[in-house]
Amino acid sequence: MTSRAARAFWYRTGIAAMAALWLGCWSAAPASAQGSSRSAAELMDAVMWNREPIGGAFQLIDQSGHARSERDYRGRLLLVYFGFTYCPDICPTDLQAIGLAMDRLGADAAHVQPLFITLDPERDTREQLAQYVPMFHPKLIGLTGSTAAIHAAAEAYRVYYKRVDFDDRPADYTVDHSAFVYLMDRDGKYLGFFPPGTSAEKMVDMIRPYLGIGK
């Protein structure tokens, strides 16, 4: 994990955690369509120290309008990333690394499926995703869905996210979110995560040993 993206990540999630404490809603955060039911710190702890199972069933829609569940991707390793298309820096950086990793895998990329799951289904319609995902890799699949379906997927992957409104721009908002890239095996079982800012080279080094397993 490097420097700028990582710092920005910790900064954002740290700020969100502090804001939650300040507002006294640390444990009382409601399960809402606009964010996680748990705090950033709690979810980061769950992922970083491997305390809870990661992944599971989802029911979403891809950028072509097809209904998709995790079962559709069995038989390939999965790179699963949650974010939103309006994200100014972190998502594009990590998606670019995922795209470069796919290129570096060469023919082995046929056994790897990258998925981008939006945390902002309100703005990230399938049309929006269809514009966005090809910028990073032709094989990248964008997934959206109802706010409830997105919430369920995010909870299953222990993703922290929260809609944040701007005081000076009432029509606009951003989404704070954790930014791990999850690696799943060919049966959809969780293998591990790449922290935000992981280079394409490192991803490929970590993915290669799994390419021969379960073929």
Query: What string marks each residue from 31 to 70 as x (binds Ni ion by CB under 5 A) or -?
Result: ----------------------------------------
The values of phi and psi at residue 133, to 5°, are: -60, -35
Examine residue 143 and tell whether it contacts Ni ion (CB under 5 A).
Answer: no
Task: Count residues binding Ni ion (CB under 5 A).
Answer: 4
State both tokens at 199.
């280079």
> Could you tell me the smallest distance in angstroms from the CB atom of residue 29 to Ni ion?
20
User: Which stretch in 58-66, 86-94, 160-168, 184-192 sits in contact with Ni ion by CB under 5 A?
Assistant: 86-94
> Could you tell me the smallest distance in angstroms from the CB atom of residue 160 to Ni ion?
12
> Could you tell me the smallest distance in angstroms from the CB atom of residue 90 to Ni ion?
4
Examine residue 90 and tell whether it contacts Ni ion (CB under 5 A).
Answer: yes
**CA–CA separation, 57 and 62 (whole Å):** 15
The values of phi and psi at residue 80, to 5°, are: -115, 125
Beta strands in the chain (DSSP E): 59-62, 67-69, 77-83, 112-118, 141-144, 161-165, 173-177, 181-184, 190-194
State both tokens at 73.
């991707």
Q: Given the complex with Ni ion, which of 105 and 141 has the nearer CB atom?
A: 141
Judged by CB under 5 A, the residue of 17, 79, 91, 203 near Ni ion is 91
Examine residue 87 and tell whether it contacts Ni ion (CB under 5 A).
Answer: yes
Examine residue 97 and tell whether it contacts Ni ion (CB under 5 A).
Answer: no
Give me the residue label for tokens 């491997």: 50
> Could you tell me the smallest distance in angstroms from the CB atom of residue 185 to Ni ion?
25
Three-class SS of residue 100?
helix
The DSSP code sequence of 23-66 is TT-TTT---BTTB-SS-HHHHHHHHHTT-S------EEEETTS-
Examine residue 181 and tell whether it contacts Ni ion (CB under 5 A).
Answer: no
Examine residue 83 and tell whether it contacts Ni ion (CB under 5 A).
Answer: yes
Examine residue 119 and tell whether it contacts Ni ion (CB under 5 A).
Answer: no
Q: Which residues bind Ni ion (CB under 5 A)?
A: 83, 87, 90-91
